[in-house]
Structure 1
Amino acid sequence: MTGTGPGTPTKSVTLRLLDKADKEIVKLDRAIVGAVYKFQHEFRKNPEAGGFDLKQLKGHDRLWSARVNREYRALLLRLAGDDWLLVSVKHRGHVHRNLDRLTYGINQVTGAIEYVDLQVVEEGVLRPTAPTAQAPPAEPSPAPPSPSAEPRPETEPRPETAPQSAADDEARLFSEFTAEQLADLGVAEPLIPIVLKLTTDDELLGLAEYAPRHTGEVLLRLRDGVPYDQVMQQVTDPLTGRRDDGAREPVDTDDWQTAVERSQTVVITDDASLQSIIEEGDFGRWKVFLHPTQEKLVHRAYSGPARVSGGPGTGKTIVALHRVKHLVDRLPPGHTKPVLLTTFNRNLAADLRTRLMSLGGPETLARVDITHVDQLATRVVSESAPGSGKRRIDDAQALLEWRQLLLETGENRWDAEFLSDEWNQVILGQAVASRSEYFRARRAGRGRSVTRPDRAEIWQLAERFTQRLEVSGLETYRQVAERAAQLEIARRHKIEERRKRQEENAGPGNIHAESGTGAWLRHRYRHIVVDEAQDLSPAHWKMLRAMAPQEPDDLFLVGDTHQRIYDNQVTLGSLGVHIRGRSARLTLSYRTTHEILKSATHLLDGTDYDDLDGGTDNLGGYRSVLHGMRPWLRGAESWDGELDLVAEQVRAWHHVARESVAVCVPTNDMADDVVSRLARRGIVATKITSDGPKGGEGVHVGTMYRFKGLEYRCMIIAGVSEGKVPRSSVDAWESTDKTRHQRELRRARSLLFVAATRARDALVITWSGGPSRFLRPLRAPGANG
């Protein structure tokens, strides 16, 4: 192909994006991003259009340049006559100055296409350290720089590296590894000389930002102290084929069509996908790409329930969606929905439906029941007792009912919060149906001990509370979930009894229902996939366990207990969901930058989290290969002054689509204040409710609970003041119930952690008066260094 022209005009060419090209493009000025959108639209129609000035770059056999606008050029690899791969968009001056610094090829280990701009990598490695997040000065500081700002090119040539001394050699991060070892792990060979000279984590992060993703992950794992053989097994081997004798399948470094299928690319086929660049800054890589570690989890055959954990942005939901598609693809033809995809939150369930439609199309969607878990429980109960007419209330409303009951009865020995938790976690949680059963019920983890006479009083109050709800025509979602669990358990017992009788009399076969309808009696689902598993209650798990037969690939759970924002503590094994030996953890974040991630994990300092099965979980090895600005911390004297800071910051992000900016606060009243203040400054904002954003345009504003499962380019967390985060009432538990006190503090930390990890590019945290105690690790000198 060297030296030849583009050839005859081609229609409907394929245009792909190499991994990380999308991240580079969305950091450009908004007007340039729009030009890139237009370029891709026109290029797909006819790459021979004269305005593109399409030409092969001197000294390169596959690398071409095409005009985006007067200043910028697109760099493309020509894979075949009508198959193009967009690898970068650069200023035309950069392209012409650095032709000899642009390298590309097929990795001899992974078989994937790699493109490296050595000049950009070196600039990233040499980039000065960003300012450390700290308490702001007395006078309002300027807004943080734009997250879209590009690194400033070096104006002076990089000085020659001085000969390494013995001390220098010891200081190098990867001095214990040889170039051959790094190459065998799949590190991009043009980068290995630079890798062997790295001496600081800032240099490593600069390299990882611009290096091929596999190279970045390998180096970060090694830097975390993961043994070489383990990195080979967990990160590199899944990318390589193995023969029966254990040797790697050879890679044909001239087979570009095979290589593109093994690379992390996105195929752009329609303008709607391109428009997402403008509207969201997100090319939706998840729709087509699974990291090999994730893919292994998706396609594995499990002998029973399996769980995938991992920090925010590690792709747990992506794994769940691809797992659903994998299970559907293995089903025999039919018109039923034997696969359930469920989660705790109604908004998340709607989002899962949209994303699964994009991933698998209507054929996949037609075989999957997608619903949030309380809606599922309501459906089960309604089938059993249609037309009950009761209004369902959540935990917050139930707590108000408890308070009213205590006020009316004059009871002051027990507070409403304690009684509500006792009712939810012990009485409903263990399906306690009588006073004698309550006397025998276990109260592990409840903290405050109670005597037998205490239990008698509590049971009497619980009965009065239940009667109060009945008279008012109310029932809680937890009541509904427990009733649904018991109905499904009874259904399962009936199925098992019928099967046993049939096997005894005539061998295994189909089981008919006893009802006069003649319907088949069977488990509701064959496979169940649960997203945000950490938020489900014991009743939910009992219901789900009964809904699917205990067979291979029955339950697949994804979640992260560090993100548990509801008071649902469970031990899955005690509920019949046995995941021991079938658990995996994802550690690489695809969403947010290393700097934001590091600050967010500091918010959890010194706090223990469970693993849903009686053990502990941690975020060890949780890393990002993305690099950006450190979070900014800013304080004000009053809430009114803090609202001014918020409006000022939102204005500073004028170049970012408003829908990609969010403001998160502790309470609904504070959310209303933010919307009002932004409106006074001429900034459109929309409040997020239980049904999602009220309008389709503007900055999204809501409480921390509303941001679960969402992500934004730029995020402000406001109101992070002592007394608000955590709320002042939490400390009242410290002297009366230390277990409850620690649990509430842990939940408040998790809420703040979830909010902080919604940010992809920029995060600002503000407070008025005194900052929250949770911010101390972020404000300490060198905390983000």
Structure 2
Amino acid sequence: MEFRIADTFTASLARLTGQEQKAVKTTAFDLQVDAAAPGMQFHKLDRARDANFWSVRVNADIRMIVHRTERSLLLCYVDHHDDAYTWAERRKIERHPTTGAAQLVEIRERVEEAVSYTSDGESQAQRMAPPAPLFANLDDAALLGYGVPPDWLADVRAATEDTLLAITDHLPQEAAEALLDLATGATLNVPVMAPDEVDPFLHPDAQRRFRVLTNVEELERALEFPWEKWAVFLHPAQRELIERGYSGPARVAGSAGTGKTVVALHRAAFLTGRDPAARVLLATFSKSLANALKIKLAHLAGEGATTERIAVRTMTGIGYELYGRLFGQPNMASPAQIRSLLRQAADALGEQRFSDQFLFAEWTDVADAWQLNSWDDYRNVARLGRKTRLGPKQREALWGVFEQVRTGLAARKLTTWPEMFGRLTAHFAGGKVPFDHAVVDEAQDVSVAELRFLSALTGGRPDGLFFAGDLGQRIFQQPFSWKALGVDVRGRSFTLRVCYRTSHQIRSALDGLLPRSVADVDGIADSRDGTVSVFNGPPPDIQIAEDEADETGIVGTWITDRLAEGVAPQEIGVFVRSERQMKRARTAVKACGAAFVELSDTVETTPGSVSIGIMHLAKGLEFRAVAVMACDDEVLPLQERIETVADESDLEEVYATERHLLYVACTRARDHLLVTGVEPGSEFLGDIALNV
């Protein structure tokens, strides 16, 4: 007998208390071992429309809903007795007559009241001139082809812009996505049609919601982290990108919450599963993100995979580790040391015309980043992104400064990060390498030297390099041409367009912070057009307070309200721009009496505690509710960054990355988002408010 689990089961399990979850897991394990054991208490559901729905007793109050046939047992839902029975009475599992996919379908007549209202609660009868139906030009065959259940054809055909979101909440995911795509003018993928003889549970759309579990270990992982449904269920578009072969470097892009990190994690696991001898580097750009990847990889593949053949590292961490192994531990130059050497060299050469800020930016973004080791190299470099024009005499003077800085670094036996990666690149080029594949998450923040290193590390092999990132979330690195470095992802660049983490209301509002399309230097564009969220929620709440005390009260009350609604403390995050505003976050959480934990590179979320931290630490995390505080004028964008600008392009970069940072922090929210600041508030908040 095949033993399956539905995504609705893991979602309902997550809503129970810890003790209730423990009892459910014990019963689930017993069912998998022997569903016919004398102690199992099955009860036929007399009022269920699906004759194969049964309840299984967990304890005096908790019931599991299972779909039971001679060949399979499917865990569908778990809740308190009456709620579990009500859920089962409103649903059925059936094979779609056109696509052939197994679907969990909500009974149409039981939700009639819900879909007769617009998204703002106003009934259609109350509207003087209801909008025109969105899908009037599509016949039944077309709608069925997109996975719409037959019982819902009439509702879909009558859907308008006001009612569509209310209807899609009740449809299978593939149908909801297709309708949202159609409504936004996006190009749809060709639906998969399975022949009658194919098992409906093997259809790609069915596999995103039903999963066969072959042993107790798989079931244990599926139930241990019910919030992490991505570890068990995959969208067909994600699975295709994970399991395909690539003739060269490949890249997956997408807005926040579309599952780029999920694809990267599964890709690393897939590569090791396909080749038992493969060594995989799974890299990202910060310690906090690397720690989050390690935890998620353990959820996905078990602890052994993280230590045996998948090395999870930061980019600087793997560079430092390999350099120490090959050449001895490097002594890294600090920014303060480099600034000092630059000023000393400029003064010694009488070059006071160049400011400290300009010298440091030109060294960091051009001379050192590209490892320019001769006057000819610097004279001919394109200086991408730098708008301050330099004549030949100015370049010559600057090169004299940079030569002295290199001499000073060598005399002190100091190494810069680009220099370290440059030496590693030269060592591995054409030689024996420690990894067969490299999978890089948050690839938009990879540097020039790091990309060269990655290219050498995998030797240009097929499936060697796989990147996941979003140009709209670039925080640290100046843009540059990947193609110029031999890493050409043209023709192997793909965009994910289904957002799982963030509600439609939050995602669409935050899109106002970014351009609709962002292109890299090589002309490859990341477009937000056609991205859809698969669930709805309340719109983000943007409030400008009179002063910090007023803001504290607003945030404290908001957290209290979320806790009263059943959101657990660890499902709430509070973020501020920098350490300077952390006191405001602490005060706000204390005001509502909640415990909190301060995030760092090593400190993770803690059960029973609200998480607070700076925006940079929000990457890789997700919460049901997020408050982003202290979005004041001169905090976003950060005034001290603006004051150090030495080049017009640097000012554009400051504004762009500050927007990206706010976008990153806000898109950690799943259901609830609060954004606050003190009058007059950040100029960025108006861009969000326009889309609310």
TM-score by length of structure 2 reads 0.87
Aligned position for 1:5: none
SS of residue paired to 1:692: coil
The worse-fitting range, judged by mean Cα deviation, of 713-722 and 473-482 is 473-482
SS at structure 2 position matched to 1:450? coil
- In structure 2, the residue matched to 1:181 is 142
Which residue of the partner structure matches residue 182 of structure 2? 222
Question: Any residues of structure 2 matched to 1:385-464 within 5 Å, and which?
Answer: 385-388=327-330, 390-391=331-332, 393=334, 401=340, 413-464=353-404
Letter in 2 for 1:713: R
2: distance between equivalents of 1:98 and 1:376?
51
Equivalence for 1:577 = 487
SS of residue in 2 equivalent to 1:592 = coil
**Aligned pair in 2 of structure 1 residues 670, 598: CA closer, same or farther (>3 Å)?**
same
Deviation at 1:677, TM superposition (A): 5.0
Name the SS of the counterpart of 2:163 in structure 1: helix
2:196 is aligned to 250
Contact 1:125 1:206 in 2 (8 A): yes
Whether contact under 8 Å (2:557, 2:592) holds in the other structure is no
The within-5 A match list for 1:265-280 is 265=210, 269=216, 273-274=222-223, 276-277=225-226
Mean CA deviation greater in 74-83 or 717-726: 74-83
For residues 623 and 405 of structure 1, the distance between their equivalents in structure 2, rounded to whole angstroms, comes to 54
Give the alignment partner of residue 320 of structure 2, picking from 334, 358, 378. 378
Deviates further, 178-187 or 87-96: 87-96
1:287 matched to which residue of 2? Answer: 231
Is contact 2:517-2:528 (8 Å) kept?
no
Amino acid in structure 1 at the alignment position of 2:140: A
How far apart are residue 347 of structure 1 and its match? Answer: 2.3
Q: Which amino acid aligns with 2:310?
A: V
Q: 2:91 aligns with which of 98, 102, 105?
A: 102
Q: 1:77 maps to which residue?
A: 67
Q: Which residue number corresponds to residue 528 of structure 1?
A: 438
Is 1:118–2:99 an aligned residue pair? no
Superimposed CA distance per residue, residues 348-371 of structure 1 (whole angstroms, 9 cap, x where no aligned partner): 223323333333346644223332
Separation in 1 of the partners of 2:301 and 2:445? 26
2:242 and 2:266 in contact (8 A); partners too: yes
Amino acid at match of 1:353: K
| Contact 1:304–1:550, Cα closer than 8 Å, also in 2 | yes
Once the two structures are superposed, the pairs formed by residues 122-141 of structure 1 within 5 Å of their partners are 122-127=112-117, 129-130=119-120
Q: Superposition pairs for residues 491-640 of structure 1, below 5 Å?
A: 491-492=428-429, 495=430, 521-604=431-514, 606=515, 609-611=518-520, 613-640=522-549
Match of 1:171, SS state, is: coil
Aligned to 1:708: 619
Is structure 2 residue 46 aligned with structure 1 residue 57? yes
| Distance across 2 between alignment mates of 1:341 and 1:300 | 18
The Cα shift of 1:578 comes to: 1.2
Indicate whether 1:38 and 2:23 are aligned. yes
Report if the CA contact (8 A) 1:57-1:64 is conserved: no
Provide closer, same or farther for how the CA distance between residues 258 and 34 of structure 1 changes in structure 2, counting only shifts above 3 A: farther
| 3-state SS of 1:104 partner | strand
**For residues 678-719 of structure 1, what are the alpha-carbon distances to aligned partners after superposition, in whole Å with 9 as ceiling and x for unaligned?**
346532211112333497762111111111111111111001
- Gaps of at least 5 residues in structure 1 are 1-12, 132-153, 242-248, 496-520
Structure 2 vs 1, CA of residues 117 and 603 (structure 1 numbering), >3 Å: closer, same or farther?
Answer: farther
Q: Which residue of 2 aligns with 1:323?
A: 267
Deviation (angstroms), 1:298? 1.5
Identity among equivalent positions (%) equals: 27
- 1:121–1:211 Cα contact (<8 Å) kept: no
AA partner of residue 443 (structure 1): R
Distance 1:25 1:207 in 2: 25
Q: Which amino acid aligns with 2:384?
A: A
Report the Cα offset of residue 463 of structure 1. Answer: 4.2
- For residues 341 and 114 of structure 2, what CA distance do their matches in structure 1 show? 58
1:723 CA drift (Å): 0.9
CA shift at 1:460, angstroms?
Answer: 3.8
Distance (whole Å) between structure 2 residues aligned to residue 192 and residue 398 of structure 1: 68
Q: In the superposition, relative to structure 1, how do residues 417 and 212 fare at CA in structure 2: closer, same or farther (>3 Å)?
A: farther
* Alignment equivalent of 1:344, drawn from 270, 282, 285: 285
State the alpha-carbon separation in 2 of the partners of residues 320 and 96 from structure 1. 39
Following TM superposition, by how much is the alpha carbon of 1:560 offset from its aligned partner in structure 2, in angstroms?
0.7
CA displacement at 1:37 relative to structure 2? 5.5
Conserved? CA contact 2:290–2:313, under 8 Å: yes
Q: Deviations over 1:374-422 (max 9, x none)?
A: 112213332443145x2454x6x56865798699989764333332221
Query: Residue 98 of structure 1: CA displacement?
Result: 9.2
CA distance in 1, matches of 2:338, 2:676: 30
The residue type equivalent to 2:251 in the other structure is R
Distance 2:337 2:211 in 1: 48
- Structure 1's 92 and 325: CA in aligned 2 closer, same or farther, altered over 3 A? same
Match of 1:264 in 2: 209
Q: Aligned partners of 1:584 and 1:568: how far apart in 2?
A: 22
Q: Which residue of the other structure, out of 312, 315, 320, is the alignment partner of 2:256?
A: 312
- The question of whether the paired residues in 1 share the 8 Å contact of 2:574 and 2:610 is answered with yes
Cα distance in structure 1, aligned partners of 2:339 and 2:584: 25
CA deviations 1:482-503 (Å, max 9, x no partner) are: 3433x33xx42xx4xxxxxxxx
Q: Is the 8 A contact 1:314 1:586 kept in 2?
A: yes
The amino acid across from 1:448 in the alignment is T
Q: How far apart, in 1, do the equivalents of 2:298 and 2:84 lie?
A: 41
Q: CA RMSD in A?
A: 3.7
Q: Distance in 2 between matches of 1:731 and 1:125?
A: 50
Measure how far apart 1:195 and its partner are.
0.6
Shift of 1:272: 6.8
Residues 205-244 of structure 1: pairs in structure 2 closer than 5 A? 205-227=165-187, 231-233=188-190, 236-237=191-192, 240-241=193-194
CA contact 1:73–1:90 (8 Å) conserved in 2? yes
Q: List alignment gaps of at least 5 residues for structure 2.
A: none
- How many residue pairs align between the two structures? 678
Report the structure number with the largest CA radius of gyration.
Answer: 1
Alignment of 1:84-95 (within 5 A): 84-87=74-77, 89=79, 92=82, 95=85
**Secondary structure at 1:210's aligned position in 2?**
coil
Displacement after TM superposition at 1:674 (Å): 2.1
User: Structure 1 pair 382/478, CA: closer, same or farther in 2 (3 Å)?
Assistant: same
Q: CA-to-partner distance for each residue in 1:36-81, whole Å, 9 max, x for gaps?
A: 6534533543678999672233453212245678887654322447
Q: CA contact under 8 A between 2:2 and 2:71: conserved in structure 1?
A: no
Tell me the distance in 2 between the aligned counterparts of 1:90 and 1:118. Answer: 23
> CA distance change for structure 1 residues 403 and 467 in 2, over 3 Å: closer, same or farther?
closer
- Contact 1:603-1:777 at 8 Å conserved across structures: yes
Amino acid at match of 2:281: L
Please name the residue that 1:300 is paired with: 244
Does the Cα contact within 8 Å between 2:174 and 2:205 map onto a contact in 1? no
Distance in 2, Cα, partners of 1:120 & 1:719: 45
Match for residue 195 of structure 1? 156
Give the aligned partner of residue 6 of structure 2: 18
Counterpart residue type for residue 221 of structure 1: D
Please state whether the residue corresponding to 1:552 is helix, strand or coil. Answer: coil
Tell me the alpha carbon deviations over residues 729-768 of structure 1, each in whole angstroms, 9 at most, x when there is no partner.
Answer: 455589x743222221111111111111111111110101
* Cα pair distance change 1:599/1:97, threshold 3 Å: closer
CA distance in 2, matches of 1:421, 1:266: 52
Q: Is the 8 A contact 1:538 1:568 kept in 2?
A: no
